[in-house]
Structure 1
Amino acid sequence: MSVNPGHFPLNEESLPDDRFLDREESWLRFNQRVLELAEDPQLPLLERVRFLSIFASNLDEFFMVRVAGLTRRMATGLAVQSASGRQPREVLERTAAVAHELMLRNAECFRGDLRPALAKEGIEILRWADLAETEQERLRRLFRDRIYPVLTPLVVDSAHPFPYISGLSLNLAVIVRDPETEARMFARVKVPPVLPRFIEASPNRFTPLEDVIAAHLGQLFVGMEVVEHHAFRVTRNQDLEIDDDISEGLLQALERELLRRRFGPVVRLEVEESISDAVLELLIEELTIDEGQVYKVDGPLDLAGLAAIADLDRPELKYPPFVPSKEAIPEDAGIFAAIRERDILLHHPYDSFTTTVQRFIEDAAADPGVLAIKQTLYRTSGDSPIVQALISASEAGKQVVVVVELKARFDERANIAWARELEKAGCHVVYGFVGLKTHCKLALVVRQERDGTLRRYCHIGTGNYHPKTARLYEDFGLLTAEPEIGEDVSVLFNHLTGYSRQNSYGRLLVAPHSLRSGLVLRIEREIENHRAGRAARVRVKCNSLVDEVVIDALYRASQAGVPVDIWVRGICALRPGVEGLSETIRVRSILGRFLEHSRVFAFENGGEPEVWFGSADLMHRNLDRRVEALVRVTERTQRADLVGLLDKAMDDGTQAWWLDGDGTWTRRAAMTDDNLLDIQSHLVKSRRWRTVDATS
């Protein structure tokens, strides 16, 4: 489809060429905000450790996907100037500079702040030389019994080429000397990923696994002198490239590509600062990288492994326990009767996922009146009760249709496994469209009521049907029996499983056909309302804002005087507060205990707000290459509650990061002002934050 929605001229000639921030740097600045949480002394200590782990894991994915993708496009000559005006080489150089800065800051946070703070609480992370003799002796036994058997030292000489180094593996580069010939040789020892990243030497005293291995290298190279050893880690391109026109089945193609992923080109080499020049030069040469791809940090490497430390049973060092509300659907009420009575707006994790969405699917599977269940699955857990409920429904003779997105990044292998389990149980499993990912979050239950009529019950959400992440991700969902939505969702499932070309819906906006144009049309309507003296405002909550067409529409709204509020978690390519361009636009970001994941779009609409939420972020991939769905919320109190939540997040008295026009994020938090509201803590305390008005 055309990126111009066609209803209004783009007027791009009136907008400056430098109106977009660089998306890669914006993503790194998002991860910087995660790092700032790890650096915040007012947060519980083990939560800070978890944020440091998340920072490291996020950065791994950034290199595996974003940096790798840009490098690949440059190598093939397909890279073009970015929307920010930077040439590909400039983007890569700037990305490397910012990433270097953040990695050093991450290492310093661990070494200079978190490790000493943990020690004060009786949790110590020590290098081998700092362990007591009794602890070293215990680890010697552990090495002999559990570690030594799974190690495979690989030497490099005329008969043994340099070994393949798998992506994200932690390794020891070892130089050994033959005392008889004086010959020196390089050897690589892979740190086994099947063992804990940090080994417990004694209660609450840990040491990196590579330190335990390094202390026993003499047992791996018997009769040789170990001259030096250094830890290193490689990141490879691990983004999948699937040819959607291949004749073989998608399942088989994806499995083949997952094997190929292990052999992607190197995009980053991490080494400890202590590495010798000679060993580093050898690694650079053998891995065929340049010095700009080398990242030296004060070890240990791979701090993503700190997640295990964050999981320690020390509740006094974590966020207070939180029990989600079960008030959305009373336990003694039939779920279908409750949905028939009124639309039910859910806000996870503040509302229990188990007693609402999971119960919806489980009750449908067990209800003899239910004839069919249709559901999209993008990510879920392998032991998901929802998958088990779908299998039970199929075995009970109900028609079960599951649209599975196999290409959910880094969940592909798990999705293949449970897709096959669903097929074995007799479910109709569909893998979506060629060239499009199915990312919408939909469930449809067709039920025969007591009077013999058929009624459709639907769930439309912003998050995955994943019971575990539902306790950590913030998401909205709507349970409804409204006939118009039921018709829309039925048509959309027919579109997903068949060859329907339906592009228009009553209560849905669907990508890639109508979502971008529908949003831009509503932004332009706010411009017209403002010019006519009617109430006008645009409010957006999303994970990422990159799409240039939508951003330009927001710029035009601002130039016309329309207030625009944007609550974004991650990337934002829009420049707010720029004179003559975006003076009425404010951008805020909130990170905290829960991952802000919902997408909400609210338009003032002359005083009768129109509110939508759903699965789509404002990125090219979501609007052009995915099947996404937004649903319009019609109940007055629900609309008011959603708008009120957006306004509370944007309030100057709420803790948040504020974006400036130059791309700088400034944190306003309790560290600087004790009177600022932590919106997530507020929602935890208030549990059900919404009003309930069945008559609206």
Structure 2
Amino acid sequence: MVAGSSKTVEDTPAAQPAPRYFNRELSWLAFNQRVLEEAGNTAHPLLERLRFLSISGNNLDEFFMVRVAGLKGQQLRGVEEKSADGMSASDALAAIAEAVEALADRQQRAWESLRAELDAAGISVIGMEPIDPECSAWLDDHFREQILPVLTPQAIDPAHPFPFVYNKALSLIFDLKRQSDGEPIRELVMLPNSLPRFIRLPGEGARYIAIETLIRRQIATLFPGYDYVDGGSFRIIRDSDIEIEEEAEDLVRYYQTAIKRRRRGRVIRLKLEDGMPAELEELVRDGLNAGDALVSVSTGFLGIADLGLIVEENRADLKFPSFTPRFPERIREYGGDCFAAIRSKDIVIHHPYETFDAVVAFLRQAAEDPDVVAIKQTLYRAGKQSAIIRALIDAAEAGKSVTAVVELKARFDEEQNLFWANALERAGVQVVYGFIDFKTHAKASMVIRREDKVYRTYCHLGTGNYHPVTARIYTDLSYFTADARVGRDVGQLFNYITGYVEPRGLELLTLSPRNLRRELCRLVDAEIDHARAGRPASLWAKMNALVDPDIIDKLYEASAAGVSIDLVIRGICCLRPGVAGLSENIRVKSIVGRFLEHSRIWCFGNGAALPGRDALVYISSADWMPRNFDRRVEFMLRLENPTVHQQVLDQVMVANLIDNEQSWVLDPSGTYHRLDAGGSRPFNLHHYFMTNPSLSGRGAALGSGRKSVPKLRLRSVPGH
């Protein structure tokens, strides 16, 4: 599908609206369908399209591991309380099962189409067809030397019960017959994680073979003296969420145990290869204790996420053109001195267009500067190769007071965070794990520096994680300031997390779970008052998800009062836009493209039209979901510096609203339509920010003839 053309995601999961709200899970599946649609978007290079297909598979795996697992747990406990959309757990599971089957079928069709295009481009995936003798000989040797020693076939009989199968494992099961006496035997082969899913064959051109295909081709080598009778493959997904027990006395020890338990969670999804004999299918179901699992049959490739391995093929012509993020001009103007640059004026950095190295440089300079006396840092997801962790360790070893708030409850990063916490503690960092009941999701750094016999506080607040890898593909904002008010507020944030000291008199920050939802409602109420008084009233908001019923109801109230509302919501949206008498003044769009939109930005007209100098502009770590308001430590920061205010509002937000090449518009029925630019001038916000100078601190660095940043104009919201 060519970007910008008219496209409707037909029969998407969200196409059956509830009276006031869309179901959260079905809305998420609709989002994953939009991701999948990019696999057919011919405006993208071929391997990037394969990457989108792989992402849709990985997304679906995590959806089952967490969301479907949670619903299944409710159903098994007999909890049939209906959510705001009117669905019980059983209702939602039935709708999910139907929607997932349709989505999985689209994934297989997408793979078959991409496979043919890849083959035409010189990248082939071999099946069971005959191959040339030289290649066949190489595969024989490779299997004997590199694959066979790692495999552990297991007979299934009364002496060998069905083994434990780990999460996301792909397994093969065979019925064989012994050649000597015709005795039948049943064998199970689990594919170890240590083996790559695809093997690249030598020679010209890129030829791959899936490991399960290779095993089938080599079955006589794996089982000498036996004839193949029948068989099939299957793949499972297990419940992988960790629930916190309030009585947990030692959070670290609890998580060390819980991570081990998670590996043995209930089977939530069982995917069977089409054509598996009924007797074998029944054996697999019983052996996995998968009676309550969502079971389905696939005629195609099991484990769509693994196709991402082929994307690593060295074919620059089939990938997005390389892009090198810019280093902020403001910091360059001060010779790389982050503190001097921040002290002169607040700085906003727009990732991934501007490099995350600026954040690392800030903390490295803090670690090395003899005048820095203390560093405080939250860590939600830091990644495996973290320069942030290294900087904190160096600071502690240099004798500085360093505090790290490590969030053990960061889903699927718990084990990595335990590792970092141990490393930090060994270096002398004061490690704090925050609350048992709340996740610390706020992203904040605080550096206290001695200057002219007084202490000055420098702060970094971000909408994304301190993760250098995701910072290359997630769009986020980093905000640096030496504003004393922010320093005081962030100091209270850390005291709240580390010592449960309730913040008082916050000046620019608003925190959850204290009063973030209440403050948002107050800001919307102010726009309602402006509308009723006949003044301009408008609200722009960008986030990843909108779920909270109280906030949705407040937006409905604002729409009824005449407030103009434009929402850019990448993923889940439970609000129904454009409904007469309910939400006719609300417009919702989703942007899916080269980068993953992740920043949270909220703008209120404040009695004037947006964009404008008098607007109230906020950045945040939170989405508008109950968990962000009630069960997480989050921040909302008001931007008052005029330059930063203008950059975020007039550049970042306007670009999101006028994008017409990567945008999908949500209609009242729950269907998303790819925005058709029509006669409008095409505008791709990712391309715009990749090809224009830095937004942060352009200043004198652009005074010598360099191209200036074009001024964006919002004439109308595309598609409305």
Structures share fold, TM-score greater than 0.5:
yes
Over residues 30-73 of structure 1, what are the superposed CA-to-partner deviations in whole Å (9 max), with x where a residue is unaligned? 00000000111221111101111101000000011111110011
Deviation string for 1:487-541 (max 9, x for gaps)? 0001111111113012551100101001111111100110001111222111110
Query: In structure 1, which of residues 660, 673, 691 is the aligned counterpart of residue 667 of structure 2?
Result: 660
**AA of the residue aligned to 2:252:** L
SS at match of 2:200: strand
Partner of 2:144: 144
1:603 maps to amino acid = F
Counterpart in 1 of 2:19? 18
CA 1:139–1:291 in 2, change beyond 3 Å: closer, same or farther? Answer: farther
* 1:292 Cα offset (Å): 7.5
CA contact (8 A) 2:589 2:663 kept: yes
Could you tell me how far apart the structure 1 residues matched to 2:679 and 2:148 are? 53
Identify if the C-alpha distance between structure 1 residues 146 and 20 changes in structure 2 by more than 3 Å, giving closer, same or farther.
same
Distance in 1 between residues matched to 2:594 and 2:504, nearest whole Å:
39
Alignment match, 2:115: 115
Please tell me whether the aligned partners of residues 543 and 596 of structure 1 are also in contact (alpha carbons under 8 angstroms): yes
For residue 411 of structure 2, give the secondary structure of its aligned residue in structure 1: coil
Cα pair 2:180 2:225 within 8 Å, conserved: no
**Maintained 8 Å contact 1:637/1:693:** no
For 2:697 and 2:343, the matched residues in 1 are separated by 19
1:216 is displaced (CA, Å) by 2.1
The answer (yes or no) to whether the contact 2:660–2:676 under 8 Å persists in 1 is no
User: Which residue identity is paired with 1:668?
Assistant: L
After TM superposition, give the deviation of residue 89 of structure 1 in Å.
1.5
Question: Cα deviation per residue 1:3-36 (whole Å; 9 max; x = unaligned)?
Answer: xxxxxxxxxxxxx982000000000000000000
Say if 1:351 and 1:687, in contact at 8 Å, map to a contact too. no
Alignment of 1:146-165 (within 5 A): 146-165=146-165
In the alignment, is the contact (CA less than 8 A) between 2:347 and 2:697 conserved in 1?
Answer: no
Quick one: structure 1 residues 665 and 130, their matched pair in 2 at CA, closer, same or farther if it must change by over 3 Å? Answer: farther
Deviation at 1:455, TM superposition (A): 0.1
The separation in 1 between residues aligned to 2:464 and 2:387, in whole angstroms, is 16
Correspondence list, 1:205-216, <5 A: 205-216=207-218
- Distance in 1 between the 2:698 and 2:533 partners? 34
> Do the aligned residues in 2 keep the contact of 1:403 with 1:431 (CA within 8 Å)?
yes
- How far residue 133 of structure 1 moved from its aligned partner, in angstroms, is 2.7
- 1:623 paired with 2:629, answer yes
> 1:5 maps to which residue?
none
Q: Which residue of 2 aligns with 1:589?
A: 590
Amino acid at match of 2:153: P
Partner of 1:638: 644
- Indicate the residue corresponding to 2:338 in structure 1: 335
On the 8 A contact 1:328/1:346 being kept in 2, the answer is no
Work out whether residues 660 and 684 of structure 2, in 8 Å CA contact, stay in contact via their aligned partners in 1: no
Question: Equivalent residue for 1:231?
Answer: 233
- Give the 5 Å matches for 1:195-274: 195-203=195-203, 204-247=206-249, 249-274=250-275
Range that drifts further, 401-410 or 322-331: 322-331
Q: For each residue in 1:221-266, what CA deviation from the matched residue of structure 2 results, as whole angstroms up to 9, or x when unmatched?
A: 333322122121011111112213222x211111111111111111
Tell me the CA shift for residue 322 of structure 1. 1.1
CA RMSD of aligned residues (A): 1.9
Give me the whole-angstrom Cα distance separating, in 2, the residues matched to 1:550 and 1:657: 22
Equivalent residues of 1:588, 1:656 under 8 A apart: yes
Query: What are the residue-to-residue correspondences of 1:529-544 with 2, within 5 Å?
Result: 529-544=530-545
* AA at the equivalent of 1:234: I
- The 8 Å contact of residues 546 and 574 in structure 1, kept in 2 or not, is answered as yes
Q: What's the CA shift for 1:290?
A: 4.8
Once the 2 structures are TM-superposed, how far is the Cα of residue 289 of structure 1 from its aligned partner?
3.2
Return the alpha-carbon distance in structure 2 between the equivalents of residues 178 and 77 of structure 1: 48
Aligned residues: 674
The answer to whether the 8 A contact 1:350-1:687 is kept is: no
Aligned-pair distance for 1:126?
1.4
Letter in 2 for 1:684: M
Question: What SS is found at the alignment partner of 1:149?
Answer: coil
Cα shift readout 1:179-237 (whole Å, capped 9, x = no counterpart)? 45644333210112112111112341001011112222233333332212212101111
Q: Tell whether 2:506 aligns with 1:499.
A: no
**Cα distance in 2 for residues equivalent to 1:196 and 1:622:** 38
Q: 1:114 to 1:654 in 2, by over 3 A?
A: closer
SS of the aligned residue for 2:607 comes to: helix
Contact 2:593–2:662 (CA under 8 A) maintained in structure 1: no
Which amino acid counterpart does residue 256 of structure 1 have in structure 2? Answer: T
Determine the structure 2 residue equivalent to 1:43.
Answer: 44
Q: Distance in 1 between matches of 2:466 and 2:374?
A: 18
1:344 maps to which of 347, 350, 353: 347
Shift of 1:105: 0.7
Q: Mean alpha-carbon deviation: is it higher for 657-666 or for 119-128?
A: 119-128
Measure, in 1, the Cα distance between the counterparts of 2:76 and 2:169: 25
Percent identity (aligned): 43
What letter corresponds to residue 116 of structure 1 in structure 2? A
| In 2: Cα distance, 1:324 partner to 1:130 partner | 46
Asked if the contact 2:329–2:697 (Cα under 8 Å) also holds between the matched residues in 1, the reply is no
2:684 corresponds to which of 678, 683, 686: 678
- How far apart, in 2, do the equivalents of 1:214 and 1:127 lie? 10
- Structure 2 counterpart of 1:421, which letter? A
Equivalent position amino acid for 1:169 in 2? A
Counterpart CA distance in 1 for 2:625 and 2:437 is 16
2:148 is paired with a residue whose SS is: helix
Shift of 1:682: 1.3
Structure 1 Cα separation of the partners of residues 474 and 242 of structure 2: 25
Q: Structure 1 residues 674, 492: CA separation in 2 closer, same or farther (over 3 Å shift)?
A: same
1:688 match: 694
Note the C-alpha offset of 1:382: 2.3
Quote the residue 1:185 is aligned against. 185
Give the corresponding residue for 2:166: 166
Q: Which shows bigger deviation, 322-331 or 407-416?
A: 322-331
SS state of the match for residue 580, structure 1? coil
Moved more, 630-639 or 590-599: 630-639
How far apart are the structure 1 equivalents of 2:244 and 2:538? Answer: 42
Shift of 1:82: 2.0
User: Which runs of 5 or more structure 1 residues have no equivalent in the other structure?
Assistant: 1-15
Aligned counterpart, 1:81: 82
* CA deviation after TM superposition for structure 1 residue 434, in Å: 1.6
Match of 1:325 in 2: 326
Once the two structures are superposed, the pairs formed by residues 281-292 of structure 1 within 5 Å of their partners are 281-290=282-291
Whether the aligned pair in 2 keeps the contact of 1:593 and 1:680 (CA below 8 Å) is: yes
Please report how far the alpha carbon of residue 471 of structure 1 lies from its aligned counterpart in structure 2 after TM superposition: 0.8
State the partner residue of 1:469. 470
Contact 1:328 / 1:351 at 8 angstroms: preserved in 2? Answer: no
Is contact 1:510-1:627 (8 Å) kept? yes
Render the CA deviation track for 1:380-439: whole Å, top value 9, x for unaligned: 122211110100000000000000001111111111111100000000000011211000
TM score, norm. by length of structure 2: 0.91
Distance across 2 between alignment mates of 1:566 and 1:77: 37
Q: CA deviation at 1:691?
A: 7.7
CA distance in 2, matches of 1:669, 1:167: 41
Q: Distance in 1 between matches of 2:157 and 2:330?
A: 68
Check the 8 A contact 2:664/2:673 in 1, yes or no: yes
**Residues 529 and 536 in structure 1, CA contact (< 8 A), matched pair in contact too:** yes
Structure 1's 555 and 693: CA in aligned 2 closer, same or farther, altered over 3 A? farther
> Match of 1:9?
none
On the 8 A contact 1:235/1:266 being kept in 2, the answer is yes
Question: Secondary structure of the equivalent of 1:605?
Answer: coil
Q: What residue is the counterpart of 1:407 in the other structure?
A: 409
TM-fit CA distance, 1:309: 1.2
1:395 matches 2:401: no
Residues 656 and 690 of structure 1: CA distance in aligned 2, closer, same or farther (over 3 Å)? farther
Shift of 1:305: 1.4
Is 1:454 the counterpart of 2:484? The answer is no
Tell me if 1:647 matches 2:648: no
CA spacing shift, 1:135–1:250, aligned 2, 3 Å: same
DSSP 3-state at the match of 1:206? strand
